C-alpha cells in the first residue's frame, strides 16, 4: 500500500515511512492511495475469524490490507500482544450490549486508562517499539494533554524500549482521577510535566519546541497526536467487530453514532464504510463545541477561537477545530490529484485567510449524506445529565458524559437497523458530572482502588518552553 497526502504530495511512502511522522511535508494528512474492498464473502470469513480466533486475529486481517512493509508473522505477533483479555478486560475486547430497542452500546473503554484512545495507542506502543528497534533509533514523544490522550500515550509507551514520553499538562486542572492515573506511573521512560498555566499554554510550548528544528532533530522529538494514520487504522477494526456483534449475517446493515471531537474515531468508521462494511448511517455527535455538527447541517466549516471554545462536562470533545476532518474532505472531493489541490485551497488557504470555508453550494457536499451516510447532532450539558439519569434510572446502565452525548444524538437518528453508540470512556473518569446527574458516585474498577494515594512522579514548571527544553535535554543523556 502506498500513502499520499491530502494536500497533493504523492511521493511514494509505505506504512512504516509515515508511522513515526505527524503531518506530511506539505501540511496535509496521510491517507492510503485507495481503500481495499471487502466482498460479502470476505466479510463472512472475517466474521468467522473474529468468532473463532478473536479480536487480535481480526485486527491482523484488517491491518495487513494496509501494511505491507512489516512481515506478516511479525504483524500477527504485534496484534496478539496488543489485544489481550488481560489488557482490555474481556475476550471480545469491544463487547456490544443492548441498551433499548435497536440501540446498542459498544464498549471501547475497558483498556488501561478507561477511554477508547487505548484501542489505538496500545497498538502504537508495540508498533513504535518494533520499528525503532528495526531501525536502531530512539524517539522522544512530546505532547500536551488535558486528560485522555496523555494518559493513553503513557500507558502505551511505559517500559517500551527506544521511546521516552514527555507529557505536559495544565497544573492542577485535570480531574484527581486523571492526575492519579498519569502521575502514579513510576516507569523511567515516562516524564510528567505539570505546567503552571492552562492547556493552551501546554500546546504553545509543544509548538515552540517542535518549531526549533535543530532541537527537534538533535533530540529526536516526535508526537502521537490523533492525526497519526496508524491510530486511525487501528480504530477501523472495532467497527468490523461491532458490526459482527450487532448482526448475524452479511445482508444486514448497522448504523453507528460516535461522540466526536477531532473526527478521528468517526473517520475510522468512514474508512470501514469505504471498504464496504454495510454501514447505513454514521452519526457525528458533538457537545456544545459543534464545529462538526454545523458543517454537516450547513456545509460551512468554521473553526473557533479559544474564546468561542466552551469548557464542557464532556471535555474530551472540547475542540475548536477537528484535526482529522481534512481526511474526509479529501475523500468528498474525489480522493485524487485534483482533490489534493482543492483540499489545499480549503485548508491551506481559505481557513488560514478567513477562518472558514463554505461547501454548501457544492453538489458533492449535497450528496454527502446519501453517498457517505453522514448525519449529525449536538448535545448540551442539560441533555447529558438527562440522558445519564434516564439510562441509569430506567435502563439500569451507567454511562459516561461523552457516551451520553452519543446516546442523546443517536435517539434522533434511529431506523430499523441496529444503532451502535460507541462508548468512549467509563463514568469513573468524569465522576463529578455523574454525581451531579445521579447523586451518587460512579463505580470504580477494582484495579483503580486507592490510586489517588500512590506516590506521584511529576515535575511542576512555569509556562516556559526553554525550561521544558532544558528538562528534555537533561533526561535524554
Ligand X SMILES: *Cc1c(COP(=O)(O)O)cnc(C)c1O
Asked if 226 touches ligand X (CB under 6 A), the answer is: yes
Asked if 286 touches ligand X (CB under 6 A), the answer is: no
Told to judge if 378 belongs to the known catalytic residues of this protein, a careful annotator would answer no
Q: Which of 174, 391, 399, 425 binds ligand X (CB under 6 A)?
A: 425
Q: Which of 113, 122, 146, 262 binds ligand X (CB under 6 A)?
A: 262
List phi, psi (to 5°) of 446.
Answer: -55, -30
Residue number with CB closer to ligand X (124 or 461): 124
Q: Which DSSP string corresponds to 233-301?
A: HHHHHHHHHHHHHH-SSTT--EEEEEE-SSSHHHHHHHHHHHTT--EEEEEEEE-S--HHHHHHHHSEE
CB-based contact 33:2 (threshold 8 Å): yes
In whole angstroms, the minimum distance from the beta carbon of 55 to ligand X comes to 20
Nearest Cα to Cα of residue 47 among 68, 65, 62, 34: 62
Site for ligand X in 375-404 (CB under 6 A): 402
What character string, x for contact with ligand X (CB under 6 A) and - otherwise, covers 294-323?
A: ----------------------xx------
Contact residues for 384 (Cβ-Cβ < 8 A; gap 6+): 287, 313, 314, 401, 404, 405, 408, 433, 437
Judging by beta carbons within 10 Å of its beta carbon (0-12, 13-18, 19+), is residue 115 exposed, middle or buried? buried
Residue number with CB closer to ligand X (112 or 162): 112
Q: Which of 5, 343, 424, 433 binds ligand X (CB under 6 A)?
A: 424
Asked if 270 touches ligand X (CB under 6 A), the answer is: no
Asked if 442 touches ligand X (CB under 6 A), the answer is: no
To 10 degrees, the CA torsion angle through 267, 271, 273, 275? 180
Residue number with CB closer to ligand X (210 or 323): 323
Stretch that binds ligand X, among 63-71, 156-164, 259-267, 431-439 (CB under 6 A): 259-267
The alpha carbon of residue 396 and the mean position of all alpha carbons in its chain are separated, in whole angstroms, by 28
Q: By CB under 6 A, how many residues form the interface with ligand X?
A: 16
Asked if 261 touches ligand X (CB under 6 A), the answer is: yes
Stretch that binds ligand X, among 186-194, 263-271, 326-334, 341-349 (CB under 6 A): 263-271
CB-based contact 283:377 (threshold 8 Å): yes
In whole angstroms, the minimum distance from the beta carbon of 438 to ligand X comes to 19
Q: Which entry of 117, 160, 281, 429 is annotated as an active-site residue?
A: 117
Q: Is 32 helix (H, G, I), strand (E, B) or coil?
A: strand
Residue number with CB closer to ligand X (49 or 262): 262
- Beta-bridged to residue 142, according to DSSP, are 166
In whole angstroms, the minimum distance from the beta carbon of 218 to ligand X comes to 31
Q: First CA to last CA across the chain, in angstroms?
A: 37
Asked if 263 touches ligand X (CB under 6 A), the answer is: yes
List phi, psi (to 5°) of 146.
Answer: -110, 10
CB-based contact 15:70 (threshold 8 Å): yes
Residue number with CB closer to ligand X (181 or 260): 260
In whole angstroms, the minimum distance from the beta carbon of 401 to ligand X comes to 8
Catalytic site positions? 117
Binding site for ligand X (CB under 6 A): 115, 117, 148, 226, 259-265, 316-317, 402, 424-425
Amino acid at each position: 500500500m502506498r500513502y499520499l497526502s491530502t494536500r497533493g504530495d504523492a511521493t511514494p511512502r509505505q506504512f512504516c515511512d509515515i508511522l513515526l511522522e505527524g503531518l506530511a511535508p506539505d501540511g496535509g494528512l496521510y491517507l492510503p492511495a485507495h481503500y481495499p474492498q471487502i466482498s460479502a464473502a470476505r466479510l463472512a470469513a472475517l466474521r468467522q475469524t473474529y468468532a473463532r480466533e478473536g479480536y487480535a486475529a481480526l485486527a491482523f486481517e484488517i491491518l495487513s490490507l494496509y501494511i505491507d512493509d512489516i512481515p506478516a508473522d511479525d504483524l500477527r505477533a504485534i496484534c496478539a500482544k496488543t489485544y489481550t483479555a488481560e489488557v482490555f478486560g474481556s475476550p471480545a475486547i469491544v463487547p456490544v450490549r443492548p441498551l433499548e430497542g435497536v440501540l446498542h452500546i459498544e464498549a471501547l473503554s475497558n483498556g488501561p486508562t478507561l477511554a477508547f484512545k487505548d484501542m489505538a495507542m496500545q497498538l502504537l506502543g508495540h508498533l513504535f517499539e518494533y520499528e525503532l528497534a528495526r531501525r536502531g533509533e530512539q524517539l522522544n514523544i512530546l505532547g500536551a494533554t488535558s486528560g485522555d490522550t496523555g494518559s493513553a500515550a503513557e500507558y502505551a509507551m511505559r517500559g517500551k524500549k527506544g521511546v521516552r514520553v514527555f507529557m505536559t499538562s495544565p497544573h492542577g486542572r485535570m480531574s484527581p482521577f486523571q492526575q492519579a492515573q498519569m502521575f502514579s506511573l513510576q516507569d523511567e521512560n515516562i516524564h510528567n510535566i505539570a505546567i503552571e498555566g492552562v492547556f493552551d499554554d501546554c500546546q504553545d510550548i509543544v509548538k515552540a519546541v517542535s518549531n526549533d528544528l535543530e532541537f527537534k532533530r538533535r533530540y529526536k522529538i516526535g508526537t502521537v497526536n490523533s492525526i497519526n494514520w496508524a491510530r486511525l487504522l487501528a480504530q477501523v477494526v472495532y467497527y468490523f467487530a461491532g458490526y459482527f456483534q450487532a448482526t448475524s449475517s452479511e445482508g444486514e446493515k448497522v448504523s453507528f453514532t460516535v461522540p466526536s471531537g477531532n473526527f478521528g474515531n468517526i473517520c475510522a468508521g468512514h474508512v470501514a464504510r469505504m471498504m464496504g462494511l454495510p454501514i447505513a448511517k454514521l452519526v457525528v455527535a458533538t457537545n456544545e463545541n459543534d464545529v462538526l455538527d454545523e458543517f454537516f447541517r450547513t456545509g460551512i466549516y468554521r473553526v473557533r477561537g479559544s474564546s468561542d471554545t466552551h469548557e464542557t462536562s464532556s471535555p474530551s470533545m472540547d475542540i475548536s477545530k477537528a484535526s482529522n476532518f481534512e481526511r474526509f474532505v479529501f475523500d468528498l472531493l474525489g480522493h485524487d490529484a485534483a482533490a489534493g489541490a482543492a483540499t489545499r485551497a480549503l485548508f491551506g488557504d481559505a481557513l488560514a485567510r478567513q477562518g472558514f470555508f463554505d461547501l454548501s453550494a457544492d453538489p458533492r457536499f449535497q450528496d454527502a449524506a446519501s453517498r457517505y451516510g453522514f448525519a449529525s447532532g449536538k448535545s448540551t450539558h442539560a441533555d447529558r445529565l438527562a440522558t445519564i439519569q434516564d439510562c441509569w434510572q430506567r435502563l439500569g446502565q451507567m454511562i459516561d458524559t461523552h457516551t451520553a452525548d452519543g446516546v442523546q444524538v443517536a435517539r434522533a437518528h434511529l431506523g430499523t437497523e441496529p444503532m451502535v453508540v460507541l462508548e468512549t470512556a467509563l463514568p469513573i473518569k468524569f465522576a463529578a458530572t455523574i454525581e451531579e446527574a445521579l447523586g451518587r458516585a460512579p463505580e470504580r474498577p477494582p484495579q483503580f482502588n486507592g490510586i489517588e494515594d500512590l506516590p506521584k512522579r511529576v515535575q511542576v514548571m512555569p509556562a516556559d518552553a526553554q525550561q521544558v527544553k532544558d528538562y528534555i535535554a537533561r533526561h535524554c543523556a
